[in-house]
Structure 1
Amino acid sequence: MTVRIVAIAVVALAVASPAARAADPRYPNWPCAQAKVPEISLAAVWAGPELGDAETKWRDDAKVTALVSKLSARKTPMDEAEKSVKEFLAGSASDKTANAKLLFAGLFDTLNAQRSQVMNGLERVSRKQREAADKIREETIALQALQGAASRDDTKVEALSNELIWKTRIFEDRNKVVRFVCEVPTAIDQRLFALGRMIQQELE
């Protein structure tokens, strides 16, 4: 495949990307096929008792903050998470309810923050990809001019060709990473919903 074909393919890919299409004008830099939902709705993941002041007080409890950190980490298996939830909520009914609210409040805050961080990162990469596509387009035009010049400089042609090949590979690699990372916000949604169900089941 020639550099010209590679460059044209990359630009076409950039134009066809979700970010370039900007299906939702509110989020012009959102690069994922999945619709952007800026924050998880509490009602969508929690049907337990009202959290009340637990929304702010969970940070004051060292045991809760440590458990929130463990459960919110995607590397923690869900069966291990369930065991930890059961152990933490073992106790009297009143203690169980209070602890359940603190725990879920912490998970809701923490996972929402993780999700926002991932989404902001995706939009930053999307902007950089758009800039990279523009640069590749400009350099493709410059290369074509060099190739068609009456006094062609083969050294310059080769140098720019190699640079375009390298930039094309970087662009394509980043697109692959973006497609993978686009799944992360949904995975966080699902994890928070599952953890919420675990906690609520212990209250039933």
Structure 2
Amino acid sequence: MTAWLQNGLVLLSDYLRAGGAVMAPLVVVSVLMWLLIAERVLFFRRLERRNMPADQARICVRENRLPAPQYAEGAVALLVGEFVVHRSGRPALDRAMLDATVQRLHRALTHRLALIGVLAAVAPLLGLLGTVTGMIATFDVLAVFGTGNAKAMAGGISQALITTQTGLIVAIPGLYMKGFLERRARIVGQRIASVGLNLQREISSCSTSVPPEKEAAPARS
């Protein structure tokens, strides 16, 4: 296993060296993009795990209590918990506060997705830059040696093809994952919006009393 890993590292090192200077930013773009993708995948997994039913959400709002611990990381529980903590007890103000909470959660769902798309789009452009530099190196060899130095010519052409290949290898899965994460964000966002509408009706149908200490406390942003 150790020998196999060492051989793999040697091959990877040779591959990166053959691609030239452009391979370093390509590696940085790839690592950063996949770190962001992994963070978003774990984020959506937490939101969708043990999601609170809509009936439980209405009960929590009606009784002015926080969600149960088993729902603590779900998308609906985040909406209910944030609203219950900041609610004022006045229906009109609470409806506006609930709308603001829904919009804030929607922004959190799409956070970093645009950056993932930018990184995925930058990768093939870096690959194209490597293609240009590789062809320039090839033409420099032709200008000095003509067609007599096949090895140097092959090095320039290899650099051009390797950087193009690497840029596409980074970009294609990145764009796919961006679309996948956008679909998950849309599904979770629709669920949050639907629960928000139900809670709006719950707020309109009842006015929750606010504890005296909460009324006395100054408003916090």
TM-score bracket relative to the smaller structure: 0.3 to 0.5
Higher gyration radius (CA): 2
TM-score by length of 1: 0.47
Larger RCO: Structure 1 or Structure 2 (Cα < 8 Å, ≥ 6 residues apart)? 1
TM-score by length of 2: 0.44
Q: Indicate the structure with greater helix content.
A: 2
